[in-house]
Structure 1
Amino acid sequence: MTFDPGSANPLSGNPLITRGDMQRALLDLFDPLLPYFSAGNARVRLDAAAAHFDRAAADLEGFARPLWGLAPFAAGGGDFAHWDRYAEGVANGTDPGHPEYWGTVNGRDQRMVELAALGFALALLPEKLWEPLGPRERDNLVDYLLNVRQFDYAENNWKFFRILVDIALDRLGVPYDRTLTRQYLEELDGFYIADGWYRDGNFRRIDHYVPFAMHFYGLIYSRLVEDDHARRYRERALAFAGDFRHWFAEDGATVPFGRSLTYRFACAGFWSALAFADLEPLPWGEIKGLCLRHLRWWADKPMTHRDGILSIGFGYPNLMMSENYNSAGSPYWAFKAFLPLALGEDHPFWTSREVPPAAFEESVAQRHPGMVMMPCKGDVVALVSGQENRQMRFGPEKYAKFAYSTRYGFSVESDERAFAGGAFDSMLAFSDDGIHYRVRETNEEARLAGDVLYSKWSPWPDVVVETWLKPSPPWHVRVHRITTPRPLLTAEGGFAIARRDFEDDRLVAAPGSAHAIGSEDFSGIRDLGSTVTREGLVQKAPPNTNLIVAKTLVPQLRATIPAGETVLRCAVLAVRDTAVADNLWPLAPVVPAIAELDALAEQGEMVSAMEAPGRLP
């Protein structure tokens, strides 16, 4: 027998239906960490891979992040047998004379992030982490927290980290200057857009950090503090829930979009935080279902190493898709999903019967993130325009593709000098030498007219592309008008589906179309009257580029376009139903005329993400 990677997943076999199931899941995920605690229990080092920050901060990350789940578990009466390790680790990690000292903060530092989890745990459970400490150990901890909070925190969700430490200091009766606390709360309000939506800082990015950071911390604040900020956080969460539920498929998967996806089921953190804050914007049974279905979606994924440690990656271990700030302990932000364990078993989150998600059959436009959420036979496809991230690795792939799918995820490219072999799923790539390539990285304009997205972008300063994205469930239509002073090679991809061994998949390519039929899925792209002839191709994408499966197939259309103006039109279809090859694939949707699309672009409202200034690193 060969090793089955899914068998090492601690969630495997857990039905994840009851409070007891969720408690068991938390402990099963935590227990593999125990052998990796240091002798003094202040550090947890999981492997030799590095992040951009120092090793001591990475070891603190491995130590602190599980507290996001352990603290609510214990606050809800759960029996966790290792609080003595954590108390000892806190004492040693904040002792400058101890060999496991976490290190002194002298400026903006990753330790600021990790101390938020410690602050949360101290506020929730002082009897576990504060009361066991002696006078000198308490002084060291307070000195450490006070030193860290004097430095400037990053201009994004990081500002909440200082506020969570401040809540802990309040709970412990430690005096401190509250001036910056008030200032940070006001600055966080500056990231708020409307209708429950934030930006993660003053950038053109609106991603999962809105639910699993901005709302998550705000809802914790609203449970632990009562003031006008707490009231606003509750109001904003109530407004956000109705939109965010459209990011989830019937099987619990969410739309993988943006950075930090290695945090995995932190994507359920918003639903967990609603329960913690006792807010019911949707019926409790629906909130419970959204949370637990998402956890269940992960139960059969090979997301851990052989010893059950969460890997860097998404559907499987994959450093390719990681951020520079991901250390081996980073994935344990996923423990944010366990916040409901702080609630007693009589809370309506637990007593309510789980209900299926409210079905939506029509596409739902979301102006603030620049998305149109499109139902696709139980899955969800997000059409996207208006976002960017030029500061993170693979920013174009994570923010600027045309479409993202709960079923098919997205791919990152593995070689910027391989135009012929690129995946280019849900992208339009250009090359002027057949080797290097350019894709959409940012937009000069992005507008939403009804359920049609328009964007204007430039792969080179002298090349202008206008793109329209229109839902036609389960298809979507793309139209690109390109103005270029020189001929360019182009490649446009559909969705990536799983590729089988032994060449068992059916690949069909012809002039103007390409499709692939796998064991469960169909993916195709069809030209609909471009002004040049495009050739179909099914690309065997480089391995380990897709987030969800390691080997994929991507149908593409390729052509050389001349100098001047070219219009490319196509329709894209991908569903978990191989029978559509015979019934739905021949029935491509109608493409609107260019004049109609121009009128929509003029009428459309600016996507809110565009209202933030574009920033280069």
Structure 2
Amino acid sequence: MTMKVDRRALLAGGLAAGALATTAAAAQEQPAAPPLPDGATDRADALALLRRMAEPVLGRMARGRLHAEWTPELSPTWDGRNPGVAYLEAFGRLIDGIAPWLALPDDSSAEGRLRARLRAQALESYTHAVDPKSPDYLLWRGHGQALVDSAYFTSALLRAPDALWKPLDAKTKARIVEEVKGLRRISPPYQNWLLFAAMNEAFLFAIGEDWDPMRVDLTVKKMLEWYVGDGWYGDGARFHFDYYNSYVIHPMLVQILATLAVGKPGFNNLRPAEELARAVKREQRYAEHLERMIAPDGSYAAIGRSLTYRTAVHQPLGHLAWRGQLPDSLPPGQVRAATMAAQRRVFADPSNFNADGFLTIGFARHQPTLGDIYSNAGSMYIASESLIALGLPADHAYWTAPPQPWTMRRAFAGQDFRKDYAVDY
């Protein structure tokens, strides 16, 4: 019997085999990747980014000049809400991300002098934020968006109470409490917004004010119901494949539970310490996913809404590092190298900032069409949440550990890397 030979198939197979051989040979001939920056370089770069974000906002707001000297960019699809929401967004989000760094002790170094100056400006800004007679009084009593950014505003006070809350004068403290309690008028949508209401109540609890435990209790229990597994929460009853687990859910849930675990309120059957331990484990698992999404060149997957929040996606990695709770699977030198590679990749284009030094709407450059209906330049300051690890001092192991290649850098260099399996907690 004779067999009919498909010459085209043979030719295609030969070409494919040849291509694979050529690719393999080329891979062997590629020069080694350049060495990763050390911890001192990484910290210097992170500090430069912090300074670039913070100075235009705090420098003006401390003098009551932010509204007068900055008109925030709005998304081309802006939904028509009062654009004044942008100023609370900018200050609240910025201050939450840099609060751990502001809480570090003073010293005579250049970093220490910068910190002392920005901390003083932050305290002056808090005063302006709640003074109805100030030109920089924020939009507390208008659009419901105020509930969102009030939670970042109060979260910063929980992250750095000695640096940001205790030094405030009694009148400013009373005004903050009044504005925060006034936001109870807003009925939050049945999704991640519940955490904003709960954060404010946790803050009131922490400072000894009257608080509403039911807002906290409901939020924690709903988040437990909305957990979909393997480190991910649904944003409400449905799962959304976006980064709101990074922007809001994991860090805020852990902070709320940590506040309750310390204060030990006895209002119901919630066990804050036990729930905190579980929430941390889930954040750790989610952080493993985030680290694996960082490509060898520092880029990462652009998925879901609010992409213009840029590197805020990596908040859980910095948050766990700052709390001293990175899992063994994520060594400090590896997390630092990966997240700093992402910072450099995203912020390489100068158009991420405008001529006056303010953040623009975009992902890896000025890209206003990526804005959502609620996006404004103030919204972009949530990117400061990626700088939380600066709250660890320069001599901490996070900053002194040798850099290590992250998972995808190893994978695409042909090196062995850790396998990945789902978890059931």
Map residues 463-478 of structure 1 onto 2, 5 A cutoff. none
Gap change, CA 1:278 and 1:126, over 3 Å in 2:
closer
* Number of residues of Structure 1 aligned to a counterpart in Structure 2: 353
From 65, 70, 73, the counterpart of 2:93: 65
Contiguous gaps of at least 5 residues in structure 2:
1-36, 106-111, 262-272, 416-425
Gap change, CA 1:18 and 1:359, over 3 Å in 2:
closer
- Structure 2 partner of 1:491: none
CA distance in 1, matches of 2:212, 2:231: 30
- Structure 2 partner of 1:234: 280
CA distance in 1, matches of 2:252, 2:226: 14
- Structure 2 partner of 1:195: 230
CA drift at 1:48: 5.1
Gap change, CA 1:35 and 1:22, over 3 Å in 2:
closer
**Greater mean alpha carbon deviation, residues 88-97 or residues 159-168:** 88-97
CA drift at 1:60: 1.6
Gap change, CA 1:345 and 1:218, over 3 Å in 2:
farther
Tell me, yes or no, if structure 1 residue 295 matches structure 2 residue 343: yes
Letter in 1 for 2:177: V
Gap change, CA 1:39 and 1:330, over 3 Å in 2:
same
Gap change, CA 1:119 and 1:356, over 3 Å in 2:
same
Letter in 2 for 1:300: A
Task: Specify the SS of the correspondent of 2:84.
Answer: helix
**Greater mean alpha carbon deviation, residues 32-41 or residues 292-301:** 32-41
CA distance in 2, matches of 1:137, 1:34: 17
CA drift at 1:143: 1.0
Tell me, yes or no, if structure 1 residue 24 matches structure 2 residue 48: yes
Output one character per residue of 1:552-592: Cα deviation in whole Å (capped at 9) or x when no partner.
xxxxxxxxxxxxxxxxxxxxxxxxxxxxxxxxxxxxxxxxx
CA drift at 1:142: 0.8
CA distance in 2, matches of 1:76, 1:172: 21
From 281, 284, 299, the counterpart of 2:332: 284
- Report if the CA contact (8 A) 2:294-2:408 is conserved: no
Gap change, CA 1:376 and 1:201, over 3 Å in 2:
farther
**Length-normalised TM-score, structure 2:** 0.74
CA distance in 1, matches of 2:410, 2:125: 51
- Structure 1 partner of 2:129: 93
- Report if the CA contact (8 A) 1:260-1:322 is conserved: yes
- Report if the CA contact (8 A) 1:17-1:292 is conserved: no
CA distance in 2, matches of 1:183, 1:255: 33
Equivalent pairs: percent with the same residue? 25
From 72, 82, 102, the counterpart of 1:74: 102
CA distance in 2, matches of 1:62, 1:32: 11
- Report if the CA contact (8 A) 1:196-1:239 is conserved: yes
Gap change, CA 1:96 and 1:352, over 3 Å in 2:
same
CA drift at 1:239: 2.4
- Report if the CA contact (8 A) 2:319-2:388 is conserved: yes
**Greater mean alpha carbon deviation, residues 266-275 or residues 351-360:** 351-360
Map residues 350-369 of structure 1 onto 2, 5 A cutoff. 350-359=399-408
CA distance in 2, matches of 1:17, 1:270: 22
Gap change, CA 1:337 and 1:64, over 3 Å in 2:
same
Gap change, CA 1:14 and 1:307, over 3 Å in 2:
farther
Gap change, CA 1:290 and 1:320, over 3 Å in 2:
same
- Report if the CA contact (8 A) 1:191-1:198 is conserved: yes
CA distance in 1, matches of 2:46, 2:359: 17
- Structure 2 partner of 1:522: none
CA drift at 1:71: 0.7
- Report if the CA contact (8 A) 1:14-1:299 is conserved: no
CA distance in 2, matches of 1:72, 1:21: 17
Task: Specify the SS of the correspondent of 1:17.
Answer: helix
Task: Specify the SS of the correspondent of 2:228.
Answer: strand
RMSD: 3.1
- Report if the CA contact (8 A) 2:72-2:378 is conserved: no
Gap change, CA 1:74 and 1:158, over 3 Å in 2:
same
The structure that is helix-richer by fraction is 2
CA distance in 2, matches of 1:26, 1:294: 15
**Greater mean alpha carbon deviation, residues 326-335 or residues 86-95:** 86-95
- Structure 2 partner of 1:156: 191
- Structure 2 partner of 1:482: none
Task: Specify the SS of the correspondent of 1:254.
Answer: coil
CA drift at 1:342: 1.6
**Length-normalised TM-score, structure 1:** 0.52
CA drift at 1:328: 1.6
- Structure 2 partner of 1:262: 308
Task: Specify the SS of the correspondent of 2:178.
Answer: helix
CA drift at 1:321: 1.2
- Report if the CA contact (8 A) 1:43-1:59 is conserved: yes
- Report if the CA contact (8 A) 1:94-1:141 is conserved: yes
- Report if the CA contact (8 A) 1:156-1:202 is conserved: yes
Gap change, CA 1:260 and 1:84, over 3 Å in 2:
same
Tell me, yes or no, if structure 1 residue 83 matches structure 2 residue 119: yes
Output one character per residue of 1:452-481: Cα deviation in whole Å (capped at 9) or x when no partner.
xxxxxxxxxxxxxxxxxxxxxxxxxxxxxx
Gap change, CA 1:98 and 1:284, over 3 Å in 2:
closer
CA distance in 2, matches of 1:376, 1:44: 51
- Structure 1 partner of 2:269: none
Map residues 373-452 of structure 1 onto 2, 5 A cutoff. none
Tell me, yes or no, if structure 1 residue 180 matches structure 2 residue 180: no
CA distance in 1, matches of 2:60, 2:127: 18
- Report if the CA contact (8 A) 1:74-1:342 is conserved: yes
- Structure 1 partner of 2:294: 248
Output one character per residue of 1:424-443: Cα deviation in whole Å (capped at 9) or x when no partner.
xxxxxxxxxxxxxxxxxxxx
Map residues 307-318 of structure 1 onto 2, 5 A cutoff. 307-318=356-367
CA distance in 2, matches of 1:315, 1:66: 19
Task: Specify the SS of the correspondent of 1:211.
Answer: helix
